[in-house]
Amino acid sequence: MKKSKHSYFKDDIRKVLLLYAFFPAMILTFSLLLMFWGFWKMDVVRTSQSENREIAEVLDQTIMEFSVFMEELASDDGLLLEDFTLAKQAEVFNGFYKINNQVGKKGELYVFNEDLKPLLKAKKTMPYYLRGENYQNWGIFYSMGQGEDGIKIRVMEDGQGDWQLILGKRVRVEDQVEGYIVVTLSSREFLRNISSKTSQTIITDSRRVVYLSNNYTFIDGLNRFSLEDDFPMGNKKIEGINYYFESSQILDQTLFVHSIRSITNQIQFFLLLGLVLSLVFIVLILLVLYSTKELAANKTTDLDKIIHGLSLAESGDLESRVNLSSQDEFQIIGESFNAMVKSLKEQIDRNQEMTKRLSNTQMKQLQAQFNPHFLYNTLDNIRFMVKFSPEDASEMILKLSALLRYSLDYTHDMVELKEDLRYTESY
C-alpha cells in the first residue's frame, strides 16, 4: 500500500494566510475596481442621456413657441395688406418680444409679401439669404416653396461666422401665396445651454449641416457632421480614441442633437489602475510567499523539535530530550514530552530489573528443589552400585563430589563453557 504524503503545519499556515487573507483581499480589491468601473459607465450613460434630453427639450420648446407664434401670425387676415401700419408693426413686434422673453432666446422676425419685399424686419440690413431678389430660389425661400405650408427649417451661415437656425412659414390665403414669415435664431443663443454640460454637443439639420457645436473633431471643412453614422449611439472607437455617443431627434428628424463624450482618459485610467494593482499584488504574493515561509518556519521550529523527539522515541532512543524556550504552549508540550520519556525509561529500567530478579529467584528456587532430589537419587543409586559394582560406585562418588564442588564454587551467573561442559559430563 502506498504511503500517503504528510502535510506540514508550516505549509498549512502559509496556505491559510494566502487563501483566507491575501486572496480574499485581492478579489475584493478587483471586485471594487470592477464595481467602480460599472458605476462610472452607468454615470456616463445616465449623464449623457440626461444632458442630451435637456438640450433637445430646450431646442424643441424654443422652436415650438416661435412656430406657434408664426402660425398665429399667418392666420391674421390683415397682416399682409398694403396698409401695414406702424401700429400693426408695433403690435406684431410686441407679441414677438413676449415670446423672446418667454423662451429666454432672442430671435429676429421678418415678414415678406408675395414678391419677397420686406414688410417687417428686425434689422435695417437684412442677412444676405433673406434678400428675395437674389435668393428666392435658394435657401429658406426655396424650402418654403416646397410641399405643405408648414414650418420649414434651414441652417445657414450669416456671412459673419455665425450660424443661424431659420424658421420659415409660407402664408397662403385661398390657395394664393400672400407672403412669408421668417424667424432667425443665432446659434449663440444656445451656447450657454451646451457649455455647462460635461458632454460636448453637436446640433445639425437633416442635411448634416452643423448649427451649433463645441466639438470640432467631427465637423468637416464644409461645417457638416463628418461621422458616417447619422444617428450614433453608445461606445465607438474612432482613430484610436474612445467616445460615448447619445443622439436624439426633434421635429420629425428635422434637427438632430448629438452628445459626445471622450472616455479614453477614463478607460486608460482604469486599465492603468488595474495594471498597477496587478503588479502590486504580484509583488505582494512574492513577498507573502517569502515572508510567510520565514514566519511559518520560525513559528514551527519548536513543533519540528517536538516531532523530531517523537521520531527518536519511536525508534527506541529514550535518552533524547526536547529543549524549548519559546515561553508558549509548545514549551509546555515539550516539557510534558520530556517528563513522559523520562518516566517511560524509568519504568522500562524497573521492569528489566524486576524481570532479572524474578529470573534469578526462579532459578534459585529450581536449584533449591533440584539439589535434594538429585542427592537422594544419586546416593540411592550408589547404595545399590556398592553391592553390584564397587568400582562404578566409587566413580559415581567422585563425580558427585565434583558436581557439588561446582555448585558451591560457581554460584555467579557467568560460567565458562568448558566448565559447564565438564559439569554436564560429570552429571
pLDDT in tens, 296-351: 666 667 777 777 777 777 777 777 777 777 666 777 877 787 888 778 878 888 88
Residue ranges with strand state E in 187-254 = 200-205, 210-213, 234-238, 241-250
Q: Residue 80 is placed in which grid cell?
A: 399682409
User: Is residue 122 within 8 Å of residue 181, measured between CB atoms?
Assistant: no
Confirm if 153 and 146 have CB atoms less than 8 A apart. no
| Region class of 342: left (phi > 0), else alpha (psi between -120 and 50), else beta | alpha
Q: What number of CA atoms fall less than 13 Å from residue 34's CA on the CB side?
A: 6
Whether 245 and 228 have beta carbons less than 8 Å apart is answered as no
Residue 399 in contact with residue 382, Cβ under 8 Å? no
Q: Which residue has the cell 402660425?
A: 71
Architecture of domain 11-265: 2-Layer Sandwich (3.30)
Instruction: Name the 3-class secondary structure at 97.
Output: helix
pLDDT value for 97? 92
Distances (CA, A) of 401 to 412, 418, 423: 19, 18, 11
What are the grid coordinates assigned to 212, written together?
451649433
Say how far apart CA 79 and CA 331 lie, in whole Å: 111
pLDDT digits (tens, 9 = 90+) for 258-306: 999 999 998 899 999 999 988 988 888 788 777 767 766 666 677 777 7
Q: Are 16 and 295 in contact (CB under 8 A)?
A: no
**Distance (Å) of CA 292 to CA 11, 113, 174:** 9, 93, 96
- Specify the pTM: 0.66
Secondary structure letter of residue 190 according to DSSP: G
Q: Using an 8 Å Cβ cutoff, are 200 and 245 in contact? A: no
pLDDT tens sequence across 65-113 = 999 999 988 887 666 655 667 778 888 889 999 999 999 999 999 998 8
Least Cα distance to 117 among 126, 108, 104 occurs for 126
Q: What are phi and psi of 4, to 5 degrees?
A: -70, 150
